[in-house]
Amino acid sequence: MDSIRVLIVDDHPIVRQGVRSVLANHADIQVVGEADGASSLFANLDALKPDIVLLDIRMPGQNGIEITQRLKREHPDVKVILLSTYDDEEFLFGALRAGAEGYLLKSASNEVLASSIRQVGRGERLLSPSLVSKVMREFQDLAKEKTRADSGLTDQELQVLRMIADGATNKEIAEKLYWSEVTVKRKVQDILEKMGVANRAQAVAEAGKRGLL
């Protein structure tokens, strides 16, 4: 089996040297070169032909996310693992949106780094375990937002629906929202029609199933 060709990109020589020495202990991983930034990376990319670019996220000039975006445009077959000391959500989701196959914290062990390179080499995607919960929360939030949009309910109608679920009467809803009871009744009827149900209890049950509450 051919070894996985890795190119290390970091503006700190000591970091590149450290990563190279770690990977030298793994016969199935070959470090084919180093670069200190975007210019030297793209100047040598065609000659070095890496399978994976191991890329620091914070560098002078173009940062790792911007470099990843360019790599995916110009060299879509090259896979990218971003290395970061930051578990900040902005960096994490920026990396994923840019198309990076992996995002690892620099605190990861030597074995985790090597196994991550193997995973990405096999076509898998990966995150540092401590970051998975952040991605899951973002996914859940997006899923909820899509569910709300698909329901056709306005923010105002969702507010009324939640109040109904809490057991509020039309009078109590009217008092809290400074509406007339006639307005509340009309809103409730709109909610029932949009949800395809016959009464308030069914609306609450359906809302619970859809994750609208």
Tokens 């899509």 sit on residue = 146
Can you give the pLDDT at residue 139? Answer: 60
Query: What DSSP character marks residue 2?
Result: P
Q: Which of 10, 136, 106, 16 is CA-nearest to residue 116? A: 106
Whole-number Å distance between alpha carbons of 125 and 29 = 18
| Domain-wise residue ranges, the chain | 4-136, 152-210
- Return the C-alpha torsion angle 199, 204, 208, 210, nearest 10: 50
67-74 long-range contacts (CB < 8 A, ≥24 apart) are: 67/9, 67/38, 67/41, 68/95, 68/98, 68/99, 68/100, 69/98, 69/99, 70/38, 70/42, 72/98, 72/99, 74/42
**Model confidence, pTM:** 0.64
Domain covering 152-210 in this structure, CATH number: 1.10.10.10
Predicted local distance difference test score (pLDDT) of residue 144: 73
Q: Taking the CA atoms of 76, 127, 56 and 25 in sequence, report the sign of the dihedral they define.
A: negative
The DSSP H or E segment spanning 127 is: strand 126-127
pLDDT in tens, 63-121: 999 999 999 999 999 999 999 886 667 788 888 889 999 988 888 889 989 999 999 99
Sheet with 29-35: list strands edge to edge. 29-35, 4-9, 52-56, 79-84, 102-105, 126-127
- In single-letter form, the type of residue at position 118 comes to R
Type of residue found at 52: I
How far apart, in whole angstroms, are the C-alpha atoms of residue 125 and residue 117?
Answer: 10
Listed in sequence order, the residues at least 6 apart from 54 whose beta carbon sits closer than 8 Å to its beta carbon are 6, 7, 8, 9, 19, 81, 83, 117
pLDDT at 89: 72
CA 41 to CA 46: how far, in whole Å? 9
**How much is the pLDDT for 140?**
60
The answer regarding whether domain 4-136 maps to CATH 3.40.50.2300 reads: yes
Residues of the chain where predicted confidence (pLDDT) is lower than 70: 1, 86-88, 128-143
